[in-house]
Structure 1
């Protein structure tokens, strides 16, 4: 179970805000007695990070700062402390910003409350992912912390940092503010090219000297298989591990886990050594050890335990061995490289009919929280430039729907948070169905963010044209047979509801519109043509059904056929629901229609005398 925050309130005025935070983020709501805030904060400050993800203080920032001041030690070890105003409108990260997770906790609070995040760190405000923030999010270890202020300053000045990565890590989901360069292999060791400029950031598990003014992000990627004699001291186990890492040229910061056999599960020195190094001790079952292909260095474990070995097989359960085992102080150690796995996601985001004002709050949050934007170029360019800042942006042309979905899924499999943009609502003629279908071949989680469709924006523009319901049909026959489109049109005409026709593609458009004119021949009132709906240049025109032709419509036009109960008063469409206030008007309208029908009948059929009435 993941750690949860503690949420503190100082008065009843903060209870509602605290309750909203707890319902979204989890955690306990605590209310210290007067004068006891410092005591409570002290006890929370000492809790391990595995038990407490952070502290959220609801109330005035100055109160929490005074109470926490004496507890502050180091930004890497201080727990995150976030202040939230009692009304829930403002969130301020106070301590543990990047390495401690304070900024991410504050961002989660702001999202939960739909509040303003008052970030004060310059890189956060610029939308740049600083190395220490990246380190915290990925669970890496930061080395060269003393160089961090200069490195972050360079990021702010240049907007990008040169980064050199071991070959094993070149496909990690790096943000766009990093220019990634592979390290060169020389005599089995990774080294920069002779003429290459010094990188500001290294991503490596190797213990090479840091370039001047650089930081190293160390992935927790090495698993140590450990065997030992009975009664070995913890200090001997730790020193054997250090020696093995030194011999291999690896930094001990890369140690992710120790593994051993069931017979050593409760060996005190081994258990204590893992605790001293802050890594878990995992017990490998006999079944998984015996299933390994090997070969392994001959070991006494073959004779005494009927196992292929201890250190090497245990390490090999995590990944390929980096080197044969080493032995010292009665301890055997073997190291393996465990692949890094990042869980990305794809949010299929409905961007609305055009202007950004039609984006929902959830859609905006998904776009701002994404690392990559993928979509049809028009939809991407309609997103405000500030929302696209410091993101990877992948534009596609019309007709490349499967290509863009597959790219989004591939990027998510590498660990990126991807927003796949779909105009209007992604479920209605959008990308949701295709994404779910193709995602079934992967392990990528997919979330659909609904959007406002063109007909919803058009409905507001036209009045109230579908109070009783709505039928939406695409005239495009690129993805479905025209016969199925015809069947849908005939059913819609029989249903009598307002019909919205999307996607009047140019191919055979005259034939398609002729079918619309024939099927809806009994339509009373005009057809409404809404063009560029949801955009600054939006407009609509009313035309007779018989005038519906390719000269009047294109792919930027939504064709609205009013339903049986919809009235056109010359400026707007009104669909009658049957409320009491409408009944008198309905009866009057029906009498007018009956009178008009009689007049038309007499005009078309003269009397026997040949005289018009």
Structure 2
């Protein structure tokens, strides 16, 4: 997670430098200030960038970059800065506020799915401060379905389902959960585990399948499937989209269950594939012909494809290369209109103990 910390006073700048030192090393942390003093005085605090644009413009850029934001200053400053850009709890970045004395850390936005609550607790522990957590499930020490989804890399299908499930948990109502694959850990006392496939409707179903969308108040999709693609040069986004989405429907899979798009490195600049990845917010992974040739598995071989790109199959091999050794082909090569598609599945499970 990238974290952008902004301060407004000399004391705030000093605290931001301290925060950068104490937070975990694997985090990418950038320091900014909208300090009223001269830039020369700001230069006394090395590593802090003095922004000359408006605070609103800066905040907009951070939202677009999906960077976590920590404002060192008054809550009102943060609220006014982020207000025009707040959209949805599942897409907004985490936003926190800390007083310049370093006493309190307050998650303001995306406490659960964005991880602001956990980040607040991490900062508070590092600085011996107090994390001010206000979300109801946390305050009551109860199961939070959106936190569970984030920790298990599950896509949330339908934000209204979060509210329905959380409300039931808070009111002590029966909340049932079914998992299409394996799970580990102790199921929380607030949940009642039921077998999959389910009989009748359940509160939460953890499944990648379209058919389950009407069988639960909330469906959580494991991002465990990779679409392998090969295509002739110049295929448009619409052509690619039509065939991929048709094959996802054929496999019975929701698009939310897709983890990545994959192909040979010769296609890394293919406009139609790049646009598909961008439109559906998917990583686009490409592999060398040499690596694909060495990928283990049984694949549909084509002498023509090998003559053209140096490997006998692109779609199946690239999907499997992206999945790793425990992957399996669930939809073999399908060819239409100069485009080949295959879908592979990574092994997945969920953990109720947070690991």
Return the TM-score normalized by structure 1: 0.50
SS at match of 1:322: strand
1:285-328: CA deviation from partner (whole Å, max 9, x where unpaired): 33333334543234332454453312122222321001222233
1:296 aligned to which of 291, 294, 299: 299
How far, CA to CA, are the matches of 2:282 and 2:264 in structure 1?
Answer: 16
Contact 1:129 1:175 in 2 (8 A): no
How far, CA to CA, are the matches of 1:293 and 1:16 in structure 2?
Answer: 54
1:172 to partner: Cα distance: 4.6
**Structure 1 gap ranges (5+):** 185-191, 345-370, 373-414, 417-613
| Structure 2 residue 254 is matched with structure 1 residue 251 | yes
Using a 3 Å threshold, how does the CA distance of structure 1 residues 39 and 312 change in structure 2: closer, same or farther?
closer
Using a 3 Å threshold, how does the CA distance of structure 1 residues 160 and 133 change in structure 2: closer, same or farther?
farther
SS at match of 1:40: helix
Using a 3 Å threshold, how does the CA distance of structure 1 residues 341 and 204 change in structure 2: closer, same or farther?
closer
1:182 aligned to which of 195, 202, 214: 195
1:238 to partner: Cα distance: 2.0
1:56 aligned to which of 70, 86, 89: 70
**Structure 2 gap ranges (5+):** 37-52
Moved more, 238-247 or 276-285: 276-285
Which position in structure 2 is the counterpart of 1:29? 31
| Structure 2 residue 320 is matched with structure 1 residue 316 | yes
1:113 aligned to which of 127, 148, 162: 127
Using a 3 Å threshold, how does the CA distance of structure 1 residues 278 and 116 change in structure 2: closer, same or farther?
same
Contact 1:205 1:250 in 2 (8 A): yes
Using a 3 Å threshold, how does the CA distance of structure 1 residues 118 and 205 change in structure 2: closer, same or farther?
same
Greater percentage in strand:
2
How far, CA to CA, are the matches of 1:20 and 1:111 in structure 2?
Answer: 13
1:518-566: CA deviation from partner (whole Å, max 9, x where unpaired): xxxxxxxxxxxxxxxxxxxxxxxxxxxxxxxxxxxxxxxxxxxxxxxxx
1:279 to partner: Cα distance: 1.5
How far, CA to CA, are the matches of 1:327 and 1:290 in structure 2?
Answer: 20
How far, CA to CA, are the matches of 1:284 and 1:68 in structure 2?
Answer: 40
SS at match of 2:141: coil
Greater relative contact order (Cα 8 A, min sep 6): structure 1 or 2? 2
| Structure 2 residue 263 is matched with structure 1 residue 284 | no
Return the TM-score normalized by structure 2: 0.83
Following superposition of structure 1 onto structure 2, how do residues 191-270 of structure 1 map, counting pairs within 5 Å? Answer: 192-193=198-199, 198-211=201-214, 214-270=217-273
How far, CA to CA, are the matches of 2:196 and 2:92 in structure 1?
Answer: 34
1:225 to partner: Cα distance: 1.0
Following superposition of structure 1 onto structure 2, how do residues 7-46 of structure 1 map, counting pairs within 5 Å? Answer: 7-25=5-23, 27-33=29-35, 36-46=54-64
How far, CA to CA, are the matches of 2:307 and 2:195 in structure 1?
Answer: 45
SS at match of 2:176: strand
Number of aligned positions between the proteins: 329
How far, CA to CA, are the matches of 2:205 and 2:185 in structure 1?
Answer: 15
Contact 1:274 1:281 in 2 (8 A): yes
SS at match of 2:328: coil
Which position in structure 2 is the counterpart of 1:332? 340
Following superposition of structure 1 onto structure 2, how do residues 336-375 of structure 1 map, counting pairs within 5 Å? Answer: 336-340=344-348
Using a 3 Å threshold, how does the CA distance of structure 1 residues 38 and 219 change in structure 2: closer, same or farther?
same
2:311 aligned to which of 283, 307, 310: 307
2:3 aligned to which of 2, 5, 15: 5
Contact 1:32 1:40 in 2 (8 A): no
Contact 1:245 1:251 in 2 (8 A): yes
Contact 2:240 2:272 in 1 (8 A): yes
How far, CA to CA, are the matches of 2:219 and 2:112 in structure 1?
Answer: 16
Contact 1:257 1:282 in 2 (8 A): yes
1:4-33: CA deviation from partner (whole Å, max 9, x where unpaired): 211111222323432232212352222214
Using a 3 Å threshold, how does the CA distance of structure 1 residues 237 and 172 change in structure 2: closer, same or farther?
farther
Contact 1:90 1:117 in 2 (8 A): yes
How far, CA to CA, are the matches of 1:308 and 1:86 in structure 2?
Answer: 61
1:365-408: CA deviation from partner (whole Å, max 9, x where unpaired): xxxxxx86xxxxxxxxxxxxxxxxxxxxxxxxxxxxxxxxxxxx
1:116 to partner: Cα distance: 1.5
Contact 2:260 2:282 in 1 (8 A): yes
SS at match of 1:326: strand
1:171 aligned to which of 165, 172, 183: 183
1:221-244: CA deviation from partner (whole Å, max 9, x where unpaired): 001110111111122112221111
How far, CA to CA, are the matches of 2:193 and 2:14 in structure 1?
Answer: 46
1:211 to partner: Cα distance: 4.1
